[in-house]
Chains A and B, each alone.
Chain A
Amino acid sequence: MSADAARAARVAVVSGAASGIGAAIAGRLRRSGWRVAGLDLQTAADVDLAVRLDMTDAAAVAAAVARAEDELGPVEVAVSAAGHYAMAALADVDDEAWSRMLRVHLGGLLHLTRAVLPPMRSRRAGCLVAVGSEIAIGGGDGDSHYAAAKGAVHGFVRALAAEVAPDGVRANVVAPGPTDTPLLAADSPWRDPEYLRTLPARRLVRADEIAETVRFVVEEATFMTGEVVSPNAGAVI
């Protein structure tokens, strides 16, 4: 990329960019001409700037966004894709697991939003996308803490969308169904052929489908805000 083109390129911050859905989103945005700062516990590979951090650390997230603004340019898009998945009966969810689930998904989104929003509002342009989940909509046996975290993400984004719309900033959720990423263990019940036969699409969602949906929301769905888009193989409707 030439220096001029690099300066002209628009900038996105993607959390969870080192693997799975986050990595697919970062790569898709880059191929569409964006410069991407990837925030993750691990070093993201397919990005223009990799920052290693824990999304539960508000100061670290704020510093990473400031670095992205400084090194890449004004951040126009923020995608919250950092997360982890675990199934457990409610009786087996201890305080630490509960807290971690909420701190990563909801706290990570909150910290990212707080860091990117002031400059977005002052520039009167910006777009936030949070990766939610079909489990936030349909629930599921053994998913109480994950559903609570993702449900909070959906509610947060809908409220945020109303709050920042007058400033020209959009906020939406992309809520995948079970997706073929390393987040799903090889022996995960979501990979069980018997489960897959119950899905209308008869298969897991591919990470590239989530990434393409995020690209659409970011680049083309300019009249959409506060919405939940669900590429979920038909798991919930």
Chain B
Amino acid sequence: MPVALLTGAAGGLGVATARRLAQDGYRVVVTDRTPGSRLDDLAAEVGGAALAADLADPAAARRLVGEVEERTGGIDVLVANHAYMTMAPVEEHDPDDWWRVVDTNLGGTFALAQAVAGPMTRRGSGRIVVICSEWGVVGWPGATAYSASKAGLVALVKSLGRELAPAGVVVNGIAPGVVDTPQLQVDADAAGLTLAAMHAEYARDIPLGRIGRPEEIAAAVAFLASPRVGALVGQVLQLNGGSTRTRA
């Protein structure tokens, strides 16, 4: 049974992804920042294991990978899905918090990738799927930290994709647009809107006329994780309902 390590597993995308990977036959190790019943219940549901790690700390990321490698005999798929997000006007964003966003999202993924790259290249196989964001491609007002961290992930995916492909390790990313997860409450609070109004506001600017479903992102993770297509190198799939235009 192939092993998948999934970070940010307790969030909206994480839960859908854990379920999808389990359905596709993976043993899924689910991790999130804080231990608790939510994570344990998910692990029990998908038949995997739960581990907690604060990925803002590179040492914690390395320990996590080491422990999973040891307990499972090897990670076939790493899905870096964890994210920390705060929004604030640029003049008001607390610098410490700004760096925490970048350190968690970009630094945490780098530390995870660095730790799995050795074992994966030694085995000559492996898949790394990084959850980036539409905001890392087109930017977003009030989200300089998050957008910068996610844009960093886009470039990390391209570089790692090129670097590891010769060794048989396939690295790609997904840049979801707005997806129906509990994270939307953060955006709604920042905009001073109700959640329902926030949904409607986002959907209005999306050509397909709706926001995404977590299962749609999970399906893309499963596609990129599968061994069937090794010719995708450093690609970032944009699942955003067709949004290409920025509006003030």
Residues of A within 8 A of B (CB): 158, 161-162, 165-166, 168, 170, 176-177, 200-202, 205-206, 208-210, 212-213, 216, 220-227, 229-234, 237
A140 CA to B236 CA, complexed, in Å: 23
A165 CA to B243 CA, complexed, in Å: 10
Which residues 169-221 of B have a CB within 8 angstroms of A?
176-177, 207-209, 212-213, 216-217, 219-220
- Quote the shortest CB–CB distance from B234 to chain A (angstroms): 5
**For A227, what are the chain B residues with a Cβ–Cβ distance below 8 Å?**
237-239
**For B231, what are the chain A residues with a Cβ–Cβ distance below 8 Å?**
176-177, 201, 205-206, 209-210, 231-233
Assess the B208–A234 pair: CB atoms within 8 A: no
Q: Would you call B2 an interface residue if the criterion is a C-beta within 8 Å of the partner chain's C-beta atoms?
A: no
Instruction: Name A226's closest neighbour in chain B (CB-CB).
Output: B242
Which residue in A209, A216, A223, A234 is a CB contact (below 8 Å) of B241? A223
Instruction: Name A165's closest neighbour in chain B (CB-CB).
Output: B207
Q: Would you call B73 an interface residue if the criterion is a C-beta within 8 Å of the partner chain's C-beta atoms?
A: no
Which of the candidate stretches B47-55, B94-102, B160-168 sits at the interface with the other chain?
B160-168
**For A233, what are the chain B residues with a Cβ–Cβ distance below 8 Å?**
165, 231, 233
Which residue in A202, A205, A225 is a CB contact (below 8 Å) of B208? A225
Assess the A209–B161 pair: CB atoms within 8 A: no
Which residue in B223, B232, B242 is a CB contact (below 8 Å) of A225? B242
Q: Would you call B12 an interface residue if the criterion is a C-beta within 8 Å of the partner chain's C-beta atoms?
A: no
- Quote the shortest CB–CB distance from B162 to chain A (angstroms): 5
A161-B207, A166-B209 known; A223 vs B239 contact (CB < 8 Å): yes
**For A176, what are the chain B residues with a Cβ–Cβ distance below 8 Å?**
231
**For B1, what are the chain A residues with a Cβ–Cβ distance below 8 Å?**
none
- Quote the shortest CB–CB distance from A229 to chain B (angstroms): 6
Assess the B234–A234 pair: CB atoms within 8 A: yes
**For B220, what are the chain A residues with a Cβ–Cβ distance below 8 Å?**
216, 220-221, 224
A213 CA to B217 CA, complexed, in Å: 15
Instruction: Name B163's closest neighbour in chain A (CB-CB).
Output: A200
Instruction: Name A164's closest neighbour in chain B (CB-CB).
Output: B207
Assess the A226–B235 pair: CB atoms within 8 A: no
Which residues 122-167 of B have a CB within 8 angstroms of A?
158, 161-162, 165-166
Q: How many residues of B contact A (CB 8 A)?
A: 33
**For A205, what are the chain B residues with a Cβ–Cβ distance below 8 Å?**
231
- Sort A-B residue pairs by CB-CB distance and give the 7 closest, nearest first: A234-B233, A165-B207, A200-B165, A225-B242, A220-B219, A231-B231, A223-B212
A-B contact list, 25 entries, CB within 8 Å: A161-B207, A166-B207, A166-B209, A208-B228, A209-B230, A209-B231, A213-B232, A216-B220, A216-B223, A220-B219, A220-B220, A221-B239, A223-B208, A223-B241, A225-B207, A225-B242, A227-B238, A230-B232, A231-B235, A233-B165, A233-B233, A234-B162, A234-B233, A237-B162, A237-B234
A82 CA to B177 CA, complexed, in Å: 32
**For B237, what are the chain A residues with a Cβ–Cβ distance below 8 Å?**
221, 224, 227, 229
A209-B228, A209-B230, A232-B231 known; A224 vs B239 contact (CB < 8 Å): yes
Assess the B208–A209 pair: CB atoms within 8 A: no
**For B34, what are the chain A residues with a Cβ–Cβ distance below 8 Å?**
none
Assess the B208–A237 pair: CB atoms within 8 A: no
**For A202, what are the chain B residues with a Cβ–Cβ distance below 8 Å?**
165-166
**For A230, what are the chain B residues with a Cβ–Cβ distance below 8 Å?**
232, 235
**A208, A216, A221 pick with most chain B CB within 10 angstroms:** A216
**For B240, what are the chain A residues with a Cβ–Cβ distance below 8 Å?**
223-224
- Quote the shortest CB–CB distance from B109 to chain A (angstroms): 18
A165 CA to B207 CA, complexed, in Å: 5
A222 CA to B240 CA, complexed, in Å: 10
Q: Would you call B72 an interface residue if the criterion is a C-beta within 8 Å of the partner chain's C-beta atoms?
A: no
**For A213, what are the chain B residues with a Cβ–Cβ distance below 8 Å?**
229, 232
